[in-house]
Every structure is written in structure tokens, then in C-alpha cells.
Amino acid sequence: MQTIYYDLRDTKGQQKEIEDKISAAAKILREGGLVGIPTETVYGLGANGLDGKAVKRIFEAKGRPQDNPLILHVTGPQWLPRYCADIPPIAYVLARKFWPGPLTMILKRKPIVPDETTAGLDTVGMRCPNHPVTLAIIREAGVPIAAPSANTSGRPSCTTAQDVLEDMNGKIEGVVDGGPCTVGVESTILDLTCEPPRLLRPGGLPLEDLERLIGHIDVDKAVTTPLKEGEQPKAPGMKYRHYAPKAPVTVFTGAPDASAREIQRRVGPTSGVICFDEYAHLFQGQEVHTLGPSGDKLAQAQRVFDALRTFDSSSVTEIYAQCPDNRGLGLAIGNRLKKAAGFHVVEADSHRIVLGLTGGTGAGKTSALNAIRELGGTVIDCDAVYHEMLENSQEMRNAINAKFPGVFDQDGKLNRQKLGQEVFAQKDRLAQLNEIVFGFMTPELDRRMESAGDGLFAIDAINLLESGADRLCDRTIAVTAPTELRVRRIMARDGITEQYARLRISAQKPDEYYRGKCDCELNNAADTPEAFQAEAKLFFTRLIETITEEKRRASK
Ligand code: TXA
Ligand code: MG
């Protein structure tokens, strides 16, 4: 069979030509054929979901086990009552908010949906994909499109039309190219036939977004743990070994610096590495696929399948993969990596908890750090570490001397005034100094915590986010406070005028900056430092509980 390629990457061009291609794809589907279709998550392998014979061909083309049901793709909530029974009102609440988008809802099915589509279950998965081309194809076909991910069963999912051709060329009637997928991991699957709703598969729509709208959601065990012999997951597909390259995969969880270090300990000449961009330079002798910056989960989601796919045709003997934390898209990315690894997971820093604190002057960082000390934590003051390193770290001193000749005098003493004059007069000189200092600082902080052993640490740094020290942290926390309170506090603390206090605050980054970039915020509106310290202690206690629970789950 010849697979026809329809290029629909550009939908702004010749409208007639575009409509013709969409009609052609819809026609194939209506007549019982198979078409690879783009969605925002991954490419799907579509067939008319009401045509049992057509659906059967999907299973043959993919080599998919017969007991694994398919999702029906529709163009909006108005399609739900045609195929689903006993629809709870919450389904419409969710659809209104998140459709079109990466959410699949499991609902009771009506008899019109054939057994081939649902693999005999009395429920059916419903999804409205957020891709204009596929929405137009479904509308034109006038039938719901049953579509699993377009990969051969067991292989990583396809995020480009080229991937689909690699797996399906000659086996299906057509492939529609709608460009690379913008989300990169499959839809989130939520079972609405139980109470509370249950997450069967984490995906492109974060669990937190769902819970914010509808409250608590149970997370199915199959999401985070391997199944025992004979155990049946609620989403049949979750039981199969998935996404797996030929070489065995080991996944490393924990703060990115710690997981990179663990991988570094293990790599040999024939190991492959999947890591965040910042760590690629550590693995120069290895075949490396990067996932994107450690702080950019959307980039990681877009690249995770490609990284796994590429290793499929490589001769590495084992693959070590860095894994993001479980928050936001991280839960889905981690789930795909762990499934590829058969849940072979190493928790890199299971007994260390690192909190990064940052924020402007007068907000209450000192009280917050006291609360950490009360909880038995060790506080690392980056400013102090910097000054120690200026004295003791020959490497850092050499690096500074190379860029700022003459700032060290003959007997090696730093002329602070001279350095200060240079960097405060010129922004790019300050950036150069920071680049040097930050490069030495983060590994030094890591070493200090390593040699201190397990336990709780707080990193206190005004430049926490700029220096990269946030990559050592389980959570970054913005300590903020209303400006008027800050003004009064600084005046009392430092015995300065109101005008000068305001000047100092306005010379710093605003609270919104820290609030927007940190994982969480600790806002200080308390009347006294003691009251704030008590509040902070409670806040950290809860946060530490959450992180401990996360680490426990991640390492299982
Ligand atoms: O993002 C996605 O959802 C992509 C694109 C193409 O839409 N589709 C996709 O389909 O990932 P597939 O077949 O690769 O994965 C569907 C998963 C399987 O694990 C299957 O077992 C589960 O959904 N599933 C489908 N219908 C179900 C049902 N009625 N009850 C429980 N799980 C179901
Ligand atoms: Mg799949």
C-alpha cells in the first residue's frame, strides 16, 4: 500500500488546496481507511471510531494488543451525549475549561460505540485535540476518530510526521503533516466514572490544573509504580512496557545537580545519556540527547520521546536519564521515562532536602532562615561563601584575575574597591564577574552539602535564580512582604530615613519578579519578626512533608 503524504504544516496559504487535502483525509477515514493525524500531544493513527472493521486495522498496523482500548477524538462537548451515557456535570465543566486540549475523559459508553474501539469495556475515552487541521478533518468526516498514538506498539510515541512514516509507511492510507507536536507527551487521562475522579495517565494537562478546578483527584497506582504479576491497571495500556529503546534505561530523580552527579559516577564509554542542557558538557565522551533546560518542562515534554526514539537506533549498552520533579508537566515526563526504564529508578538525593530562599531586603528572610535553623536545618549564606572563596579558592581567583587584571595586589590580597569600581560602573563587567563567580559557586555549595551529609539545608542567596544555585534545590521560595511594611522594617533595623529605605527597595528586583520565578512564596505580613518566624516554621514543616512524600514516591 502506498501511504499518501499530505503537507498541512502551513494553513495560511492556498485555502482551496488546504481544503482539498482535509477533504481527502476525511474521505479516507469515512471509507474505512487509516490516516496518521497531528495533535498537540503526539501524532495519532486515526480510523472511523464507529466502524469496527476500520478500527481493527489500527490494531494490526500498530501490532497493538487487542485488550487495549482507543480514545475517540471529537470536536467539542456537544459530541459527548452521542457516544456517552450518564455523563456527570463535571465532564462539561472540564470540557469547557480544557477543551480543545490534552485531556481525555473516561465516561460510560453508549452501545453505538463498537467493542473494537473500547476493547469490550463499558467505558470510552473522549478527547478533543487542540490542532486546527485534525479538528477540521473530524468535522469534515462527521464521525468520531478513534486514534491511538501512531507509533508501532512498544516504541516511543511519534511527535513528527516523519516519525509516523518511519513506523507506518506502507501500512496506512495517509499521513497528514501538521508540524511537530507542541506538547510532546500524550493527553492526561481522567476517569470520571468513579468518585473522586481518578488520574489514569499523567499527560499534557498538569494534575494541579485539574485539581484547581475540581478538587482532589486520586492518582492510580500504575502511574508511579510498576504493576505486580497479574495485576490489572484501570487503563489497560498502562501495563505494557512502553517507549523502550533497546538498551536498558535507568532514571535518576532528585535535584538536577545531584542526579547529574550520580550519572557521572556511573557512565562508561558505551553509555548513553539523556540530560538537561546545563549538564551536557559533563558527558563529552558519551552519546548524549538533551531534554532542554532543567527549568523548562515544556521543552522537556517536547523532546522526551525524540530522545528515546533516537537511542533506538544507537549501539549504546545502557542509557542513563535525568528526570524532572513531579510537578506540572514533570509528572508526565517522569512517567514516560520511568516506563521506558521499566521503573528502574535511582533517587539521587533521597535524604537531602534543599530549600532555596531569595527575596528583597526587609521582607523577612532572616526570620525565615531562623525558622529553618529551629527545624534543625543548616543555612548556607551565599554571600559568606563568596567572600570565603575570594580568599581561598585559587581557581576562582585565577579566573577573576584573568578577566580583571590588577584587582589582586602583589601579596595576593583582593583590592575590593578596585573590583567594585569596575563592576558597578559597567553592567557587562558585572555580568562577567557574575558568570565566573556563579560557575564556581554552585559546585562549591553542592560539595559543602555533600560533605555535611543528609538532612535539611537552606541556601540563602539574593542571586539564587540567576546563579543556577536553584538547580540544587527541591524548592525555591520567594520571601516577600508588602512594600510599606518593608520600608518601616528597614528604617527601624538600619536606622535610616524613609526616603533612603524606599530608595534601597526600589533599587532591588520587585516582589513580582521573585514570585513569578520561584516555586512558592512565603509572604510576610506579620506584625513582629517572632510571629513571622512561627508562621515560617509551620510553612516549612508542611513543605518538608510534601517533599519527603514526593521523594518517597519518586524512588519507588
Ligand atoms: O494524546 C493522546 O491521548 C494521544 C493522541 C493521539 O490523542 N493518544 C493516545 O492514545 O495516547 P493511546 O492509545 O496510545 O493511549 C490511550 C490510553 C491507553 O493506555 C488505553 O489503555 C487508555 O488510554 N484507555 C483508552 N480507553 C480507555 C478506557 N475506556 N478506560 C481506561 N483506559 C482507557
Ligand atoms: Mg500510545
CATH topology of domain 249-347: Rossmann fold (3.40.50)
- Could you tell me if the CB of 480 is within 6 A of ligand 1? no
3-state secondary structure of 477: strand
Q: Which atom of ligand 1 is nearest to the CA of 147?
A: 6
Cα–Cα dist 108/436, whole Å: 60
Q: 69: CA distance to ligand 1 center in Å? A: 7
| pLDDT < 50 stretches in the chain | none
One fold for 4-220 and 249-347: no
Q: What single letter denotes the amino acid at residue 413? A: K
Cell of 326: 513531579
- Could you tell me if the CB of 105 is within 6 A of ligand 1? no
Q: Which residue's alpha carbon is nearest to atom 17 within ligand 1?
A: 237
Contact predicate 20/28, CB 8 Å:
no
Cα–Cα dist 43/150, whole Å: 6
Q: 336: CA distance to ligand 2 center in Å? A: 11
Kindly report the number of other CB atoms within 10 A of residue 285's CB atom: 11
Shortest-distance ligand to the CA of residue 153 = 2
Residues sharing a CB contact under 8 Å with residue 291, sequence separation 6 or more, in sequence order: 274, 275, 276, 277, 299, 300, 303, 304, 307, 322, 324, 333
Which residue among 127, 172, 189, 305 is best mutated to probe the pocket of ligand 1, counting the most ligand atoms within 8 A of its Cβ?
A: 189
Q: 137: CA distance to ligand 2 center in Å? A: 21
Q: Which residue's alpha carbon is nearest to atom 30 within ligand 1?
A: 235
Q: 158: CA distance to ligand 1 center in Å? A: 14
Residues sharing a CB contact under 8 Å with residue 351, sequence separation 6 or more, in sequence order: 454, 455
Cell of 69: 482500548
- Could you tell me if the CB of 187 is within 6 A of ligand 1? yes
Shortest-distance ligand to the CA of residue 240 = 1
Q: Supply the pLDDT for residue 555.
A: 62
What is this structure's pTM? 0.78
Which residue among 62, 186, 198, 234 is best mutated to probe the pocket of ligand 1, counting the most ligand atoms within 8 A of its Cβ?
A: 186
Superfamily of domain 352-396+441-554: P-loop containing nucleotide triphosphate hydrolases (3.40.50.300)
Which residue among 104, 185, 223 is best mutated to probe the pocket of ligand 1, counting the most ligand atoms within 8 A of its Cβ?
A: 104
Q: 106: CA distance to ligand 1 center in Å? A: 10
Shortest-distance ligand to the CA of residue 71 = 1
Q: 152: CA distance to ligand 1 center in Å? A: 14
Residues sharing a CB contact under 8 Å with residue 384, sequence separation 6 or more, in sequence order: none
- Could you tell me if the CB of 186 is within 6 A of ligand 1? yes
Please state the separation of Cα 43 from the chain's center in Å.
20
Pick the CATH number of 4-220 from 3.30.70.2170, 3.90.870.10, 3.40.250.10, 3.30.1330.10: 3.90.870.10
Q: 348: CA distance to ligand 2 center in Å? A: 29
**What are the residue ranges spanned by the domains of the chain?**
4-220, 249-347, 352-396+441-554
Shortest-distance ligand to the CA of residue 49 = 1
- Could you tell me if the CB of 39 is within 6 A of ligand 1? yes
Q: 460: CA distance to ligand 2 center in Å? A: 44
Kindly report the number of other CB atoms within 10 A of residue 503's CB atom: 11
